[in-house]
Every structure is written in structure tokens, then in C-alpha cells.
With several copies, the nearest count.
Chain A
Amino acid sequence: MSGGQYGRFGGQYVPEALMPAIDELTDAYQRYVLENEAGFMDDLAERLETFGGRPTPLQYADQLSDRYDIDVYLKREDLLHGGAHKLNNALGQVLLARYMGKERIIAETGAGQHGTATTMACAHLGMPCEVYMGRRDVNRQRPNVFRMRLNGASVTPVDIGRGTLKEAISETMRDWAGSVETTHYVIGSVVGPHPYPDLVREFQSVIGSEARDQCLEKLGELPDAVVACAGGGSNAMGTYDAFLEDESVDLYAVEAGGDSLEIDREAGVAPNSATLSTGTEGVLHGSRTKVLQDDDGQIMESHSVSSGLDYAGVGPELAHLAEEGRLAATPVDDEAALAAFHRLSQLEGIIPALETAHAFGFLEERGDDLGDTAVITVSGRGDKDLESVIEESFKRDLPEAPDLSLFTTDQGGR
């Protein structure tokens, strides 16, 4: 049995052609990341600080705390360069690839946040880069496509299937199958074959370890609840990792409830991406985990209003922790996420990513029974989502949304 097991989950289900690279990566992970060989982790920490903007603050949220009558603290990953926690991992992996002597970077992206983080890291480190992105996501997250191209990367739209993250990952694996000798594949979440789930969690764990220190420093104690949205789960695992042993701290993984939690396994369609809540055990993209699949083991098309959560799988370690009861997975649907997006924008002056907004939808639902203090990770900012949010809010006639009719139609030329 391979390394990288989390209870029943994990593993390395990849083509033989990739296994040597996976082994090489496992070795590099051990040496550079875990043992800080050649001062790798120091180099990374320095770059995360000066290029990335770490540490990110832990902010007391005045208005939300009032609203829910609980002390709400925000871990501000949205302030990271690029606008999301994704840089922690992307910079780590691209730097690792450089230490490993790789010459080219490939990556998949859903919301485009991992893609932009990767292209930014590649530009910063002078590495050529190609990013695969589902066609549907290309259309949903146009600003991020521009950003990737502006950073000098190629962006290859993937037209297969529904054109979201699942298809982009599959396509990137295909590229890697042909280019593995010179190329490092920067996976964007705690998914994929071992050692990726470990590696990505390790790079992201800076979120939680900073937050934990900041709590102790500011509050003198640990929070009662730690909340993070989970797509693949890198934000969630990065946030939880430092708290795993703190048994008094409840961990909440907020998933994309999409339109509905009803899954039509016959039709092969999941109107949500709440894999921990509604998925079943399977093997996808290199690891055994919870998966949205039909009765024949075909992976279903997932749905979420937020591209970054729109994925039929989830990190194996999260699947394990959920099964063990160490964390509670709770879905928040599209509409609640959109409402939360507007609420945070208006009440706190923070425009969150739609992914992030799910965590605040959870707070609205459950804010009153989370104890005295909750930490929520603001995994990213919402600049990439402006157009989508406007459109989706308008479609739903969302009461929380401001009127934008004056500005959405073009008023005269530029």
C-alpha cells in the first residue's frame, strides 16, 4: 500500500508513467519541505512575507460580532497577493519545482484563483507556465483569465464535459503524462495522489498556524469554532491543521450546496458540490476519497455558483476527518452564499470571493450556536466574481443586492 493514507482515504491512483515523478516529488517534499534542506522553507517564508504579504491579519469583525452576538474574527487571506489563500500553495510548489530543477509548470484552475496564484508565482520565479481551465469557468471568471495571460502564462480552455474544474484537472494530468520529465504539475488543492494532499496542506497550514498564534495573542485563548469553506479543501485543511489537536475547537467545513442537495444518481447530475455531505467513496484524480458519482461509478457533473467550489471530489484527509467526526461538514446553497456575499460587502467592507461567501452563509445560519468565539477564514476576495454576482443576484431578485441597473448597461462610449 502506498503512502499518504488517511484512514481509508488517500493513495496514489495514477498512471505508471507519472509514478516516477510522484516518487521524486515525495522525496523532494520530505527533504525540502519537511527537513528544510537547502533552506527551502526559509526561502519560501521570506517570499511569502515580501512577495505574498504574510502574515495576514486576524481581524475582529465589529458588525458581524454584533449581528450574531459572538466574537467573530476574520483570517484575512483575501489580503494575500493575488487575492486568495491559493498563493501559499502555488508559491510553495513553484519554488519547490525550481529546487527540483523542473523547467516548466502546469496547473489546472477552477475559479482562476489557483491559476492566477500559479502564474504570479511563475512570473516571480521566472518559470514558463501553462494553465488549463474549463471553458465554462473561462467564461465565468474572465478577469482571472486576463490576469493569467498578463502574467505571461498560456491559458488553455478545456472544452470537454461541462467545462469546469474536474475537466481541467483531467486535462492537466494528460499534459503531465506527456511532459512529466521536465514539468511539475502544481495541483491547486489538497487533492490528487499522495504526496499532493500532504504537500498542499503543509503549504497552506500557515493560515491556521498564524491564526492560532494570533488568537492566543489577542484573546489569550483558543476560539470555540473555526470555519472555512471547502472545495477541494486546501483552505479548510490549511485553516484546521494547527487546530486538529485542540479538541475544544470545533471545525466546520462549509461546502457548496448549489441549487439543492438532492442528487439524481440516475441522471448523473449533482446540483451541488457538497461532496463531504452528499458524496460516496470512490477514486478520483489519483486518490480515494468522497466523490459525487452515480451508481456506476461515473463522476457526476457538480454545480455551484462559485467556480472554486464546483468540484465533484474533495481532499482525502477532509473525507477522513469528516468520517471520524473531527469536523462537521455543512452545505450552504447558492442563494445563501450570494446573500452572504452582499452582507459581508455591506457590513464589513470586505467583498469576498463567492467561495468564501459560503462560510459566511453558514455563519448566518448557525452563528448563534458556535460558542463565544469563531474564526472564519476569508479565503479570497471577490474582484473576480463581480460580474457573476451581479448577474446571479439579478436573476434571483435577491433582496440583499444593491441596484446596479444604472451601471450595468453601457452609458455612452468610453
Chain B
Amino acid sequence: MGVDAIRAAFEDGAAFIPYLAAGDPGGDLSNSTPESAMAATADYVSALVDAGADVVELGLPFSEPIADGPTIQSATVRALQAGMTPPRYLELVESLDVDVPIVAMTYYNPIYRYGERDGVGPFVEAAAAAGVDGLIIPDLPVEESAPLERACREHDVALIFIAAPTTREDRLRAIMQRGTGYLYVQARLGTTGASRSVSDQTKHTLDRIAAYEASERHARLPKAVGFGISTGEQAATVVGAGADGVIVGSALVDIVAEGEDVVASLEELGRELKAGARAGFDRRTQ
């Protein structure tokens, strides 16, 4: 596993990457224990993998999720209330019985504070051991990422950066050069959250990245688009516009929050999304 496994997950050109908040017990907190919440997450992950997920992003909840919209904020609150902690998170990852890469998405402070000494080393080491293949840290721009890059390189964990619609050439260059695994292309400005339409910005950003890639010689990084994708049709549009995969979070988290037939519903939406991504790929390569 590790960085290569993530690259491999993009082989069919239309990766489906679901996001779930780890340990989110869903709507009804009253009967949940940390163990039951973790077990539920494990079931949901399996369902999504069954539906065709190529990579799974698992959120490690942080109390100040500044990059997240209301849906994922609420999931974060629920997960924390249900008892999710970094050690339990790693336990959960270790317990997963799936053969797709797992990417941990969290903020800088919990990984900085993990373990006996300050600094990101202890977390990355433990995460790699538990089976985490990559990291996404939305509040970590390239300016601050050197220590984490070092630790990730040492433990063969991908460090996935985000490219935003506001990211200009010089920053894009740094992000492309320093990121590993895949490039998280933020579909639109704002925070995470499902939206009705995929913005023109997405296509524009993908084109800019493609142009940049064409002008450089280093290895190509898969581009997965996230922020606001919730339907198969959107997935198709995005992949059709040049993405190598789609990241879907809030729409799935909503299903967990509602708490009814979660496994079946996740599987259903997962299939739709994977199918959509494939359809988009077909459209583009026809």
C-alpha cells in the first residue's frame, strides 16, 4: 500500500473517492458508544467499496473544521460527541477489511499534538502502521508543509494538497511538485458541501492544470475533484471535463446523518457516482 497504491487506484481513469467522518454515529446519538460508532463507519466503508470506491477518505474529526460546511461540521460534532479520538481513529483504520487505499483527512493540530512529543512524526508513523495511505490537511498550505512532507516520505504516506480556484500559477507549480498521491482539485470556492451545479470554475481549473502539466516534465498527478459533487450526473460532468476522479463527501454524510437504511443508501448512491464517473470518462475518451 502507500503512495503507489493510491496512484494505482486511478488506473481506470474515473476514480470514485467517497468521504466519511470516522466515528460519526449518524442522527441518533443516544445509544451510540465509541465502539458502535466505529463499527458503523467500518460497515459504511465496506458498502462504499462494494459500490465501487477506488479510494476512501476518512475524516478524523477536529473541533475547528474551518474548511468544512454545515454538513461535515455536524458530522464532526457527532463523531466527537460519540467519543472519536486520534487513537480510536487509527484503531478503526486498522480494523477495516477493504483493499482500497485509505486517506486520512483532518486538520493540522490533531496530528501535530498526537503522541508523546509535539510534531507530526508520531502521527504519520502510527498512521502508516495502521494502514493510512495518504493525508489531506486542508489548513496546511505548502508554506507550512515541510515537516509533514518529510514524515510522509519516510513512512510512504501520500501528502495530498488542494488546488483552489484562486490558486495562481506559481502556487500551482509548488503544489504539483510537492504533492503526492493525487491532487485534490477544489471545484469551487467556499467550504465543503453538496451543491446543485458544478461550476465553470472546475473546468477552468482543470484546464489550467493540464496546461501546466503539458509544460513540465515531471510525473503526472491524478486530479480528483471535490467540493459540491453529489450526483452521478455531476460526477460525469467533472470527469468529462478532465478529472481523473471525483470526491464526494457531504452527500454521503447526509445519508449517515439521516440514519435510515444507511448501508443500502450509501451503496446505491455510490454506484450512481461510480457509474457517473465512468460515463464521464467514456464521454471524454470517445
Give yes or no for direct A-B contact (beta carbon below 8 Å).
Answer: yes
Inter-subunit contact B167/A19 (CB<8 Å): yes
Alpha-carbon distance between A179 and B86 when the two chains are bound, in angstroms: 32
Alpha-carbon distance between A283 and B119 when the two chains are bound, in angstroms: 11
Inter-subunit contact B109/A293 (CB<8 Å): yes
A147 within 8 A of B: no
B80 within 8 A of A: yes
B3 within 8 A of A: no
Inter-subunit contact B66/A283 (CB<8 Å): no
A20 within 8 A of B: yes
Distance in Å: Cβ of B209 to nearest Cβ of chain A: 13
Residues 114-148 of B, flagged 1 when their CB comes within 8 A of A and 0 if not, give: 10001000000000000000000011110110100
Inter-subunit contact A296/B189 (CB<8 Å): no
Residues 278-289 of A, flagged 1 when their CB comes within 8 A of B and 0 if not, give: 001111111000
A281 with B118, Cβ < 8 A, contacts A15-B67, A296-B86 known? yes
A133 within 8 A of B: no
Give the contact-size bracket for chain A.
35 or more
Question: Which of B112, B143, B162, B189 contacts A282 (CB under 8 A)?
Answer: B112
Alpha-carbon distance between A293 and B118 when the two chains are bound, in angstroms: 13
Alpha-carbon distance between A298 and B112 when the two chains are bound, in angstroms: 11
A286 with B139, Cβ < 8 A, contacts A1-B146, A16-B161, A20-B166 known? yes
A393 within 8 A of B: no
A299 with B143, Cβ < 8 A, contacts A16-B161, A19-B171 known? no
Inter-subunit contact B69/A2 (CB<8 Å): no
A19 with B165, Cβ < 8 A, contacts A160-B73, A174-B66, A282-B109 known? no
Residues 243-275 of B, flagged 1 when their CB comes within 8 A of A and 0 if not, give: 000000000000000000000000000000000
Question: Which of A161, A181, A295 contacts B166 (CB under 8 A)?
Answer: A181
A174 with B69, Cβ < 8 A, contacts A13-B144, A281-B118, A282-B112 known? yes
Alpha-carbon distance between A41 and B65 when the two chains are bound, in angstroms: 36
Residues 161-180 of A, flagged 1 when their CB comes within 8 A of B and 0 if not, give: 10000100010011001111
Residues 96-124 of B, flagged 1 when their CB comes within 8 A of A and 0 if not, give: 00000000000111111110001000000
Question: Which of B68, B111, B138, B189 contacts A180 (CB under 8 A)?
Answer: B189
Question: Which of A1, A12, A20, A299 contacts B64 (CB under 8 A)?
Answer: A299
A297 with B112, Cβ < 8 A, contacts A1-B144, A15-B164, A17-B165 known? yes
Alpha-carbon distance between A173 and B107 when the two chains are bound, in angstroms: 14
Alpha-carbon distance between A284 and B108 when the two chains are bound, in angstroms: 9
B168 within 8 A of A: yes
A344 within 8 A of B: no
Q: Which chain B residues lie closer than 8 Å to A17 at the CB level? A: 162, 164-167, 186, 189
Inter-subunit contact A297/B110 (CB<8 Å): yes
Q: Across the interface, name the chain A residue whose C-beta is closest to B165.
A: A17
Give the contact-size bracket for chain B.
35 or more
Q: Which chain A residues lie closer than 8 Å to B111 at the CB level? A: 297
Distance in Å: Cβ of B32 to nearest Cβ of chain A: 18
Inter-subunit contact A177/B189 (CB<8 Å): yes
Q: Which of A297-349 contact B (CB under 8 A)?
A: 297-299
Q: Which chain B residues lie closer than 8 Å to A21 at the CB level? A: 166
Inter-subunit contact A282/B113 (CB<8 Å): yes
B71 within 8 A of A: no
A291 within 8 A of B: yes
A52 within 8 A of B: no
Q: Which chain A residues lie closer than 8 Å to B175 at the CB level? A: 16
Most buried by B among A166, A174, A281: A174
Inter-subunit contact A20/B144 (CB<8 Å): no
Inter-subunit contact B64/A297 (CB<8 Å): no
B85 within 8 A of A: yes
A16 with B109, Cβ < 8 A, contacts A296-B86, A297-B86 known? no
Alpha-carbon distance between A285 and B66 when the two chains are bound, in angstroms: 8
A16 with B191, Cβ < 8 A, contacts A1-B144, A11-B144 known? no
Residues 101-122 of A, flagged 1 when their CB comes within 8 A of B and 0 if not, give: 0000000000000000000000
Distance in Å: Cβ of B91 to nearest Cβ of chain A: 14
Q: Across the interface, name the chain A residue whose C-beta is closest to B171.
A: A19
Alpha-carbon distance between A285 and B171 when the two chains are bound, in angstroms: 21
Question: Which of B67, B139, B162 contacts A283 (CB under 8 A)?
Answer: B139
B62 within 8 A of A: yes
Q: Across the interface, name the chain A residue whose C-beta is closest to B123.
A: A297
Question: Which of B73, B108, B146, B191 contacts A177 (CB under 8 A)?
Answer: B191
A16 with B164, Cβ < 8 A, contacts A296-B86, A297-B112 known? yes
Q: Across the interface, name the chain A residue whose C-beta is closest to B175.
A: A16
Distance in Å: Cβ of B93 to nearest Cβ of chain A: 16
B224 within 8 A of A: no
B177 within 8 A of A: no
Inter-subunit contact A16/B162 (CB<8 Å): yes
Q: Which chain A residues lie closer than 8 Å to B85 at the CB level? A: 296
A45 within 8 A of B: no
Q: Which of A174-190 contact B (CB under 8 A)?
A: 174, 177-181
Q: Which chain A residues lie closer than 8 Å to B146 at the CB level? A: 1
Q: Which chain B residues lie closer than 8 Å to A280 at the CB level? A: 113
Question: Which of B110, B139, B143 contacts A15 (CB under 8 A)?
Answer: B139
Q: 10 pairs across A/B with beta carbons < 8 Å?
A: A16-B166, A17-B186, A19-B166, A170-B66, A173-B66, A178-B189, A284-B64, A284-B109, A285-B64, A285-B66
What would 10 more interface pairs be, CB under 8 Å, given A12-B143, A180-B166, A181-B189? A13-B141, A16-B171, A17-B164, A21-B166, A174-B69, A284-B64, A293-B109, A293-B113, A297-B62, A299-B63
A residues touching B (Cβ–Cβ < 8 Å)? 1-2, 11-21, 160-161, 166, 170, 173-174, 177-181, 280-286, 291, 293, 295-299
